[in-house]
A and B are shown apart, each in its own frame.
Chain A
Amino acid sequence: MSFACHYGKCEHPNSNPTAPILEVKNVTVGYTNNCEPVLKNLSLELYPGDNAILIGKNGCGKSTFFKTLTNEIPLQTGEVLIHGSPRGNCHHLLAYLPQRSTINWYFPMDLFQFVLSGRYVHLGWFKRPQKKDKDIAEIFLKKMGLWEQKDKLTSELSGGQQQRALLARALTQQAEILLLDEPLNAIDQQTKDIIGRVFEEGLKAPTAVIMATHEIPQWKDVFNCTLNLVNQKLQKFDNINEAQHILSHGGGCHHG
């Protein structure tokens, strides 16, 4: 497994402004070399303003696709580029919201520190968060309606609050690419409304978003393209109706 360790060093030397914000080129990944890969020769280009809904049945490889982009699993072939340079150099431009169940919420950390950890990628070793970092964390805690809870331990929060905390941390990173792994799964209506409002108010431009989901939210106008993960490949459609159509027909992933 490769661990590009550029923690805190934010640079992308060959940055190309006309290159796609995120480019996936012929990527194949799998968990062991002998088994059939989960994703095969997959390619994708996203430009600023591309806000995509990612659909596909459970077990289709949506989380694997995200892990590919975040460098958590090694690529068997191909490459992932951000602004035209390898993602290891500019991982600070990519913020990832993992599924809530993957986090050890019982480790004692208060909510403010949890959201503030979204800034760590910009700080690196030994540097402490400055006032500027704390201000950014405060903005997103307030937007998520969590400011009153900021001193609580994360284990004391409700499921919906934890989900909002995750989104607040991802936004606090102020990245240009947001990867959201099922942020709407098993949450209360209040949380759904708050997340919707944050998206409708607009994200920091220029941004590209990929949100994995099983339901089309009411605030679907925020999104403008559909990614359908099917048979180890990604299909891209330049509208959101396609996602609605596929989901309503129970489709998404047709394993042969």
Chain B
Amino acid sequence: MDNLFDTLRQDYVIRAMIATLLLCISCATMGVYVVLRKMAFLGDALAHTALPGIVLAYFLKWPLFVGALFADILTALGISWLAKREKIKEDTAVGILFSSMFALGLFFLSGKSVRQDLTHMLFGSIINVTTKEITFMAITTLIVISFLTLIGKELAVTSMTPNYARQIGINPDFIRTLILLVLAITVVSSIQLVGVILTSAMLITPAATAGLFTKRIFPMMLLSTVFAITSGIGGLIITCIYNYPPGVVMVLLATLLFLISFSIKSIFKRS
């Protein structure tokens, strides 16, 4: 036990904790809107399309998250643009875009000796987080919180009655594009934590768990943050003891919380 406390006091663990806290706050609050607006598939897509950007950034010797951010913002704007054309259904467009971008990323990777270096982008590597990355995560959290508070009433109106919003002069497509952009930034942060493949879990699972207990937005965001931080920090501590990949443990913990909550909810409903 003393050994564990010594480990937890180490500099790199404290940095990892700060990063995890920041990411959990932004993913959990943004996740509430992702769940309420049924954008789960989009969150997953944004995570996968980051891969070619990451690989490209690796070759150009840029920070990897810059590449990921670039690829995701491009995807977010691309989805908004495609959604306005009426010939293709949106989920079809997203499906095509996200699998092809992921394939492109894997194509860049194949046959190169970089695979080992980039594994941590696939599964997350919060332990090796740099000061630059922590700064980016802090900025992300700030953007998410200010977005949700400043645009709160427009977000609610466009989600509930897009036609009414348009009639009073709020363009719902503009709000949607804003959501996608903020979501893109959040997803790139989350990639640091749990990697490209598991990112959508950090967005969706805590918010979905919170949704089992309350239907109101603000309590849902608070509860979602509590669930996210529990699985995030919990995952980090387990990683320190057993040396599992942190992202995998965090996602499994979040899922466990969901299953427990779901069972409790079902039992209460029955009685």
Contacts and interface: CB of A to CB of B under 8 A. Distances in A.
Contacts of B167: 70-72, 91, 94, 96
A153 B166 contact: no
Contact of B169 (A5, A109, A114, A128): A5
B170 interface: yes
Nearest to B37: A107
B84 to A, nearest CB: 9
Contacts of A20: none
B153 A120 contact: yes
Interface stretch (B23-31, B60-68, B157-165, B183-191): B157-165
B267 interface: no
A98 B157 contact: no
Interface string A81-111: 0000000000110101010001111011110
A4 B169 contact: yes
A91 B169 contact: yes
Given A107-B36, A153-B215, A121 B168 contact: yes
A122 to B, nearest CB: 9
A92 B168 contact: yes
A47 interface: no
A21 B215 CA distance: 42
Contact of A102 (B150, B163, B169): B163
Contacts of B166: 3, 70-72
B169 A6 contact: yes
A109 B161 CA distance: 11
Given A110-B216, A120-B153, A5 B160 contact: no
Contact of A3 (B159, B164, B171, B216): B171
Nearest to A121: B168
B163 A91 contact: no
Contacts of B42: none
Contacts of A108: 36, 215-217, 220
Contacts of B163: 72, 98, 102
Interface string B128-156: 00000000000000000000001101101
A3 B166 CA distance: 8
Interface centre among B167, B170, B216 (most CB of A within 10 A): B167
Contacts of B156: 107, 109, 113, 117
Secondary structure class of chain B's binding surface, majority of residues: helix
Contacts of A103: 160-161, 164
Interface residues on A, range: 35 or more
Interface centre among A114, A120, A128 (most CB of B within 10 A): A120
A2 B149 CA distance: 28
Contacts of A7: 168-170
A154 B159 CA distance: 14
A8 interface: yes
Contacts of A4: 169
B160 A104 contact: yes
B101 to A, nearest CB: 29
B160 A107 contact: yes
B183 to A, nearest CB: 18
Interface in A115-167: 117, 120-121, 123, 125-126, 128-129, 153-155
Nearest to B169: A7
Nearest to B86: A32
Contact of A96 (B160, B164, B171): B164
Contacts of A71: 166-167
Contact of A98 (B161, B215, B220): B161
Contacts of B36: 107-108
Contacts of B150: 126
A64 to B, nearest CB: 13
A117 B171 contact: no
Interface in B76-129: none
A7 B168 CA distance: 6
A91 B168 contact: yes
A110 B83 CA distance: 30
B222 to A, nearest CB: 14
Contacts of A114: 160
A143 to B, nearest CB: 20
B36 to A, nearest CB: 7
Interface of A: 3-8, 70-72, 91-92, 94, 96, 98, 102-105, 107-110, 113-114, 117, 120-121, 123, 125-126, 128-129, 153-155
Which 9 residue pairs are nearest across A and B when measured between Cβ atoms? A7-B169, A121-B168, A107-B160, A70-B167, A3-B171, A108-B215, A107-B159, A103-B161, A6-B169
Given A5-B174, A108-B216, 19 more contacts: A5-B169, A5-B170, A5-B171, A6-B169, A7-B170, A72-B163, A91-B169, A94-B167, A98-B163, A102-B163, A104-B159, A107-B36, A108-B36, A113-B156, A128-B153, A129-B153, A153-B215, A153-B216, A154-B160
